[in-house]
Amino acid sequence: MKQIVECVPNFSEGRRQAVIDQIVAAMSQVTGVRVLDVQSDQDHNRSVATILGAPQPVVEAAFRAIAKAAELIDMNHHRGGHPRMGATDVVPFVPVRGMTMEDCAVLARQLGERVGTELHIPVFLYEAAATRPDRQNLANVRRGEYEGLKKEIATDPDRAPDFGPVTMGMAGATAIGARPALIAWNVYLNTGDVAPAKAIAKAVRHSNGGLRFVKALGLVVEGQAQISMNLTDYHQTPLCRVLELIRAEAARYGLHVTRSEVVGLLPVQALVEAAQFYLQLNEFSPDQILENRLGDAL
C-alpha cells in the first residue's frame, strides 16, 4: 500500500493574499503533493493549509513553504487574535494511509532538522514527535508567544529548541509534530432549545469528565440544536461511541438525533470503524477491503 501523509501547516499571515498565494505556490510546485484546502482568517491573521501526498514530497513541500514564509513574514510586525510564535507557526503531520504515528514523528524530526540547519529557524518538536513530555502540549511550547520566547530562548536552557539556533530572527520559531487526523463533526437534535445541547456537550466532552478525545459545544444553528465537536483521536474515541453516548443523554430529555454532519474531510478508516461497530463485524481485517489490496503495482 502506498504511504500517504497529510500535513496541515499554519502560517502567521491571513490578510495579505499575495503572501499567502506565494506560500501556497511553493507547496503546490512539488510533484506528487496536492494542496486540498487553504483557509485564511483575517482576525487571527493566520492561514491553515492542508496538503496530501507521499511522505518525502510532503516533507519537501512543507520545507519550501517554511522557507517562503520566513522570507515574506516579519514576526516583529505581526498582530492577530491567535497565539503564535513563528512565520510558520505549527506543522503537524497526520497519518492517512499505510503510516503509523511513529512514521509521522520521523518525518517531523527529519523536517525539523532541515529547517534548523538550513533555514536557521529554531524548531520545537511537539505532540507525538515531542522529545520531552512537557512539549507534547503545543500551548507549553508556545508559552509567551513570539515576543516572550524571543527573550527566553537564549537564556533559559529549558526553552532551548530541538533543532536550530537559540536565537530568533524575524521568522520566529516553528513547532513541528505528529498527531492523529482531527474530525469536525456536528450532531443535531430534534429541538430548537440550546439548553439540552449544552448539557449533552458537557456530558460527552473530555474537559468535563466525558470521552478522552472529544471537544464539544452546544449551539443552536438555523433553529436546530447542535452538538458541535472536534474528535482529536478518532481511533481511540470512535464516532460510534460518541454518538451512542449522545443518544443516551438525549433520551433523558425525550430527544433524539435527527442527523449528523462531517465538516470538511475525514479518513475513510473512521467510517470503516463505525461500520464494524454497527454491523458487529468483530473479527474483520483491513485486508478484507478490496482497495487495501491494490498494492504498489497500480
Q: Which residues are catalytic?
A: 82
Minimum CB distance to a second copy smaller for 201 or for 231: 231
CA 246 to the chain's CA centroid: 24
Quick one: 21 exposed, middle or buried, by C-beta within 10 A (0-12, 13-18, 19+)?
exposed
Cβ atoms of residues 88 and 11 within 8 Å: yes
Number of residues interacting with a second copy: please give it, by CB under 8 A. 51
From 48, 54, 166, 194, residue interacting with a second copy (rule: CB under 8 A): 54
Q: Provide the angle, in degrees to the nearest 10, between the axes of the packed helices 55-72 and 101-119.
A: 40
Minimum CB distance to a second copy smaller for 98 or for 144: 98
Minimum CB distance to a second copy smaller for 2 or for 252: 2
- Binding of a second copy at residue 266 (CB under 8 A)? yes
- Binding of a second copy at residue 4 (CB under 8 A)? yes
Minimum CB distance to a second copy smaller for 123 or for 229: 229
From 52, 128, 171, 200, residue interacting with a second copy (rule: CB under 8 A): 52
Cβ atoms of residues 263 and 185 within 8 Å: yes
> Which among 66-74, 123-131, 225-233, 237-245 is the span making contact with a second copy, rule CB under 8 A?
237-245
Residues 185-214 that bind a second copy (CB under 8 A): none
Interatomic CA distance for residues 96 and 26, integer angstroms: 22
- Binding of a second copy at residue 276 (CB under 8 A)? yes
Residues 12-51 that bind a second copy (CB under 8 A): 31-34, 36
Beta bridge partners of 225: 220
One DSSP character per residue, 225-263 reads EEEEEEES-TTTS-HHHHHHHHHHHHHHTT--EEEEEEE
Interatomic CA distance for residues 289 and 98, integer angstroms: 14
Minimum CB distance to a second copy smaller for 106 or for 272: 272
The distance of closest approach from Cβ of residue 126 to a second copy in the complex, given in angstroms and rounded to an integer, is: 22
Minimum CB distance to a second copy smaller for 117 or for 288: 288
From 134, 209, 223, 282, residue interacting with a second copy (rule: CB under 8 A): 282
Task: For residue 177, count other CB atoms closer than 10 A to its CB.
Answer: 25
Q: Which residues are CB-contacts of 96 (< 8 A; sequence separation ≥ 6)?
A: 4, 5, 6, 52, 181, 267
- Binding of a second copy at residue 265 (CB under 8 A)? yes
Interatomic CA distance for residues 226 and 231, integer angstroms: 15
- Binding of a second copy at residue 222 (CB under 8 A)? no
Residue written as grid cell 506560500: 23
Cβ atoms of residues 228 and 217 within 8 Å: yes
Interatomic CA distance for residues 120 and 113, integer angstroms: 10
The distance of closest approach from Cβ of residue 199 to a second copy in the complex, given in angstroms and rounded to an integer, is: 20
Task: For residue 55, count other CB atoms closer than 10 A to its CB.
Answer: 21
Cβ atoms of residues 75 and 172 within 8 Å: yes
The distance of closest approach from Cβ of residue 125 to a second copy in the complex, given in angstroms and rounded to an integer, is: 24
Residue 12 is classified by DSSP as S
From 73, 181, 182, 201, residue interacting with a second copy (rule: CB under 8 A): 181
- Binding marks (x or -) toward a second copy, 118..157, rule CB under 8 A? ----------------------------------------
Q: List interacting residues with a second copy (CB under 8 A).
A: 2, 4, 6, 31-34, 36, 52-54, 96-97, 181, 239-240, 243, 257-262, 264-268, 271-272, 274-284, 288-295, 297-298
